[in-house]
Amino acid sequence: MSASRSPVRQSSVRAHNLALVLQTVANSADRPSRAAVSAATGLTRATVSALVDDLIAGTLLTELDPAPRTGAGRPAAGLALAPDGPAGLGLEINVDYLAACVVDLTGAVRHRFVTRADQRLLPPCDSLAEVIRLAARAQQAATADGLVLAGAALAVPGLVAPGGLVRVAPNLGWQDVDAVTPLTAATGLPVTVDNEANLAALGELRADGAEPTFLYVSGEIGIGAGIVLDGELYRGGRGWSGEIGHVTVYPDGRPCRCGANGCLEQYAGQEAVAADPDLAAAALGIALSAVVNLLDLGVIVLGGGYAPEFERLRGGIEAELRRRVLTADLAPVSLRAAALGADAAMRGAADAVIRGVREDPAGWLATAQAV
Amino acid sequence: MSASRSPVRQSSVRAHNLALVLQTVANSADRPSRAAVSAATGLTRATVSALVDDLIAGTLLTELDPAPRTGAGRPAAGLALAPDGPAGLGLEINVDYLAACVVDLTGAVRHRFVTRADQRLLPPCDSLAEVIRLAARAQQAATADGLVLAGAALAVPGLVAPGGLVRVAPNLGWQDVDAVTPLTAATGLPVTVDNEANLAALGELRADGAEPTFLYVSGEIGIGAGIVLDGELYRGGRGWSGEIGHVTVYPDGRPCRCGANGCLEQYAGQEAVAADPDLAAAALGIALSAVVNLLDLGVIVLGGGYAPEFERLRGGIEAELRRRVLTADLAPVSLRAAALGADAAMRGAADAVIRGVREDPAGWLATAQAV
DNA sequence: TCAAATAATTCAACCAATAAACAAATCCCA
DNA sequence: TGGGATTTGTTTATTGGTTGAATTATTTGA
C-alpha cells in the first residue's frame, strides 16, 4: 500500500537518484565533492559524476572552489546549489498585510515586498488585485536578477480545498474564493494555495537546526497548526488538518464563533493572550498535551503572535505537558519559539515551490529543456 | 526529504514492480489475468509475465481456472494469492486471555487458539511461557498444513519501544519486559511486538470495505487508538502515538491513575461505559472531535469493548462531533463499529507479518531461496 | 474452415548503474 | 628535485531490467 501505485522504469531510477544527489548536496553543511556525495549516497563515483553533469547543465548545481584541503590527492571540485537556478515566488494574504517574496534555490530571500493594509473590509477581488501587483513587482525584480521562477504559492489564513479553492477564511471574510485562476493568469506560473500555518510550518522546517518531526502552532486572531511528520507536511484526509484552534479545552466554557463551547481559540487567541497570559498558557498546555498523546511529537514550535510572548507562556505550557502527557517521563517534549518571524508563511510558500524542484529535479529538467 | 535516503539500482526497480504486481493481484476482486495486471499497472505484458513467473516460483501467486469468459480470444489464466504461500503467526497477550492464530497469505485464518486466564496476577515470564505454548501448537498446525511461517507478531496492551521492548503495560503490570528474545528463541522466527490498538487497527484495515484513512479506537480497561493514514499505520516520532485514553476531557475532572485530571479513560473506560453510557459518549465525542480537528480523519472505527455498545454510544458521540468539529458541515465524519471482534489485535498481528511479505516480496523470495 | 480477437511468450534494443581500469592533480618524503 | 602515495574524476565494458515488436497459442464467430 505504501508503495506508490505506479510502475517503475529505468527513467524513474534516474529521477530518484537525481533527487538523491541534489538533496545530499543541499543538506551538506560544506561544499561536498562528487566523491563525498558518492560516499554519502552509496552510488558509484561514476554514477554521481553523470548525475551531477545533468544537474549542472540544468543550473541546479554549480561547481565552486574546493573546500579547504585536507591531505594528499587531487583537489576536489566543490558542489553547491546554484544561486541562479530556479526560484520560488512566495505570496501571502493576511488580515492586516499582503506580502510577496522571491527565494532562490539556495533558500536565500532575494526580494521582499510588503503592503500593510487591513483586508477585513475589502472584497476578495481587491485583495487579490493588490497581491497580483506585488507579485508583478517581484517577478520584475527576479528577471532583473536573471532568475527563472519555477512557480508561485499563496498563503491564506483559512481552510483550503485540495484544488486550491479557499473554502472559508473567517478572519478575511472569504468564502469559496478561487485565487488560483486569477493568479495563474496574471503571473503565468503554476500556482498553489495553502493554509498559512501549513506553509509557515514548512518555512520553519527549512530553518537552521530544525527537527524533521514537529508541531508548528501559529497564534494570530485564530490559531492554526501545521503538522510536520518526518520532513513531510501532514495535510489530513481532506486537506484540513491542524485546526487546533477549535480543539475543546473546557467543554462547557466560553462560547466560540464556531458554535461550540470552550474552544482553545477563546482562551489562547490574540486577545486572550493579551488579557491573561497564564490562562492562555494553561489552555495551550491542555490542547498541546492532547496533540502529543495522540501523535507522539517531541517538538512543539510556537510561532506567529506566540513567538514574542514565548518566555511568558513557556512555564505554564510545560507544566501542563508534564502533568498530562502520558509518556512525559519516557521521552521529553521540547518547546521552542519559531526561528522565522512574521515572514514564516510567505517564506514557507516560496520554499514550497523550491521544495518541488528539489524533490523532483528530473521533472524540472524536463520542463526547462522543453522551453 | 520524503524521498528515501538510499540509492536506487535496477534490482530495486524489480523489487518495486514485484510488489506492485503482487498488490494488484491481492486487491483485485476477481482473478486477474496477466494482461489485466498489465493494464492495471501500466507495465508491459512481457514484464508482468516475467514478474509473475518469479512470484509463482516463490509460491506467492498461483494460477487458477480463468475468470468467466467474455468474448473471443485465448482464455486467460487467473491469478490469485497462493493459499500455500508464506503465512503469519499472530500472538496476543491481554488482560484476561492469551491467543495465537495462523493466517495465510490470502488473509484466511487457518488456525486459532485461545486460553482464557487472568494475567494481572501473574509475573510476565508466566504469561510469556503460556503464549509460547500456544505458539508451538500453532506452529505444529501450520506445518501439518504445509504452511511456512514468515514471522510472528505479538500484540500487547501497552507502550512498546521501537526495538520491541514493552516499556509499560499498566493493566498487565508489566514494566520493561523483553518479549522478543524468548519468543525468537522458542519459535525460531523473526518476532515483532506492537501495541494492541495499533495491530487491531491494521487488522481492521484489512477487513472488507475498509477505508485507507481512519482512526481505530479500542475501549478496554484502558483506551488505545491506532491511527491509519493512507493505508499506513502512523506510529509517531517515538512509536507511542494513539494514547487517546489520556487526552484531557475535563481539565479539573476525575483524577486518573496517570496523575493527571479528567483523562478520557476516567469517563469512557470499561467501567465508566457500564456505569453511564451517556457520559461516556459525550466524553468520547469531545476527545474524538479533537482528533478530527487536528488530523482531519473522515472515519472513526469503534472497536474492543465499544463495538457491542456501539448503538448506545453513537448518538451522543455524533452530537459532540457535529458541535465541535470545525469542518463538520464541509465534510462529514462517519462512525462505525469494528468489523472484527475481539480477535482484531491477534488477526492484525498475523496480518502485519503477511503485510511485510506482500510489501516486499523480493525480500521474501531472497530469504526463501537462501534456505 | 478461416478470419478476428485476445492471451501469453520470445527476442533484440535500450537505458542506467556497476566495477575496474585509467588519467589528473596534489602531497610527502627522500 | 623527483618519484611514490593518494585522492578525484572519467572512460569503458558488463550486467540487469524494461520496452516494443514480432510470434505463438487458443478461443469465438461468420
Q: Does A1 lie at the interface with B, CB-CB under 8 angstroms?
A: yes
Q: Which range, of A245-249, A367-371, B38-42, B303-307, averages the lowest pLDDT?
A: A367-371
Mean pLDDT over A19-46 rounds to: 94
The CATH number that domain B87-200+346-370 falls under is 3.30.420.40
List all residues 6 or more positions away from B69 whose beta carbon is below 8 Å from its beta carbon: B75
Neighbours of B262 (CB within 10 A): 22
Structural domain spans, chain B:
10-81, 87-200+346-370, 211-337
Q: What is each CA distance from A15 to A80, A86, B154, in whole angstroms?
A: 19, 18, 39
The grid coordinates of residue A236 equal 489530513
The label of the residue with cell 505504501 reads: A2
pLDDT band at A2 (very low <50, low <70, confident <90, very high): very low
Q: What is each CA distance from B43 to B17, B49, B55, B151, B307, in whole angstroms?
A: 8, 10, 16, 31, 43
The grid coordinates of residue A244 equal 487546533
Q: Identify the pLDDT of residue B326.
A: 94
Check if the beta carbon of residue B60 is closer than 8 Å to that of residue B82. yes
User: What's the mean pLDDT when you consider all of chain A?
Assistant: 93
The grid coordinates of residue B225 equal 487508538
Q: What is the pLDDT along chain B (371 residues), one digit of tens a residue?
A: 334 578 888 889 999 999 999 999 999 988 999 999 999 999 999 999 999 999 999 999 999 876 666 677 778 889 999 999 999 999 999 999 999 999 999 999 999 999 999 998 899 999 999 999 999 999 999 999 999 999 999 999 999 998 999 999 988 999 999 999 999 999 999 999 999 999 999 999 988 677 899 999 999 888 999 999 988 999 988 889 999 999 999 999 999 989 999 999 999 999 999 999 999 999 999 999 999 999 999 999 999 999 999 999 999 999 999 999 999 988 899 999 999 888 999 999 999 999 999 999 999 999 887 66
Q: Measured in Å, how far apart are chain A's first and last C-alpha atoms?
A: 36
Nearest chain A residue to B13, by CA: A8
What percentage of residues in chain A have a pLDDT greater than 90? 82
* DSSP class of B263: B
Q: Does A191 lie at the interface with B, CB-CB under 8 angstroms?
A: no
Strands A191-195 and A149-156: parallel
- Which CATH architecture best describes the domain B10-81? Orthogonal Bundle (1.10)
Q: Identify the pLDDT of residue B69.
A: 63
Mean pLDDT over A62-80 rounds to: 81
pLDDT in tens, A92-104: 999 999 999 999 9
pLDDT band at A68 (very low <50, low <70, confident <90, very high): low
User: How far apart (Å, rounded) are the C-alpha atoms in residues B361 and B340?
Assistant: 27
Q: Identify the pLDDT of residue A171.
A: 85
The more confident residue out of A69 and A332 is: A332
CA B65 to chain centre: 31
Q: Identify the pLDDT of residue A1.
A: 39
pLDDT band at A179 (very low <50, low <70, confident <90, very high): very high
The label of the residue with cell 511461517 reads: B149
The more confident residue out of A209 and A143 is: A143
- Across B203-239, b (16+ Cβ under 10 Å) vs e yields bbbbbeebbebbbbbbbbbbbbbbbbbeeebbbbbbb
User: How far apart (Å, rounded) are the C-alpha atoms in residues A189 and B236?
Assistant: 37
Q: Does A51 lie at the interface with B, CB-CB under 8 angstroms?
A: no
Mean pLDDT over A322-336 rounds to: 93
Check if the beta carbon of residue B253 is closer than 8 Å to that of residue B247. no
From A236, A323, A359, residue closest to B295, measured CB to CB: A236
Check if the beta carbon of residue A54 is closer than 8 Å to that of residue A19. no
**Among the listed residues B205, B162, B168, B159, the one whose alpha carbon sits nearest the alpha carbon of residue B303:** B205
Distance A41 CA to D8 C1' (A): 17
Four-way CATH pick for A87-200+344-370: 3.20.20.140, 3.40.50.720, 3.30.420.40, 3.40.50.300: 3.30.420.40
Q: Identify the pLDDT of residue B323.
A: 96
DSSP A134-178: HHHHHHHHHHHTTPPEEEEEEEESSEE-TTSEEEEETTTTEEEEE
B10-81 and B87-200+346-370: identical CATH topology = no
* DSSP class of B78: E
Q: Do A159 and B330 touch (CB under 8 A)?
A: yes
User: How far apart (Å, rounded) are the C-alpha atoms in residues B108 and B351?
Assistant: 10
Neighbours of A339 (CB within 10 A): 16
The grid coordinates of residue B184 equal 525468537
CA A261 to chain centre: 31
- Helices A361-370 and A344-359 pack at an angle, to 10 degrees, of 80
From A238, A245, A282, residue closest to B331, measured CB to CB: A238
DSSP A67-126: PPP-SSSSPPPEEEE-TTS-EEEEEEE-SSEEEEEEE-TTS-EEEEEEEE---TTS-HHH
Strands B223-229 and B214-219: antiparallel
Give the H/E segment covering residue B100.
strand B97-103
**Among the listed residues B205, B206, B199, the one whose alpha carbon sits nearest the alpha carbon of residue B349:** B199
Grouping H, G, I as helix, E, B as strand and the rest as coil, residue A44 is coil
The grid coordinates of residue B75 equal 482464455
Which residues on neighbouring strands pair with residue B218, listed in sequence order?
B224, B303
From B213, B294, B324, residue closest to A244, measured CB to CB: B294
Chain B partners within 8 Å of A20 (Cβ): 3, 5-8
Q: Does A170 lie at the interface with B, CB-CB under 8 angstroms?
A: no
Q: Measured in Å, how far apart are chain B's first and last C-alpha atoms?
A: 37
Which parts of the protein come within 7 Å of strand C, by CB position? A 10-11, 13-14, 17, 42-47, 50-51, 69, 71-75; B 7-10, 33-36, 45-46, 49-50, 52-53, 71-77
Mean pLDDT over A46-57 rounds to: 96
CA B16 to chain centre: 22
Q: Does B289 lie at the interface with A, CB-CB under 8 angstroms?
A: yes
Four-way CATH pick for B211-337: 3.30.565.10, 3.30.2130.30, 3.40.50.150, 3.30.420.40: 3.30.420.40
Sheet containing A299-304: order of strands = A232-234, A223-229, A214-219, A299-304, A334-337
List all residues 6 or more positions away from A330 whose beta carbon is below 8 Å from its beta carbon: B159, B167, B168, B238, B240
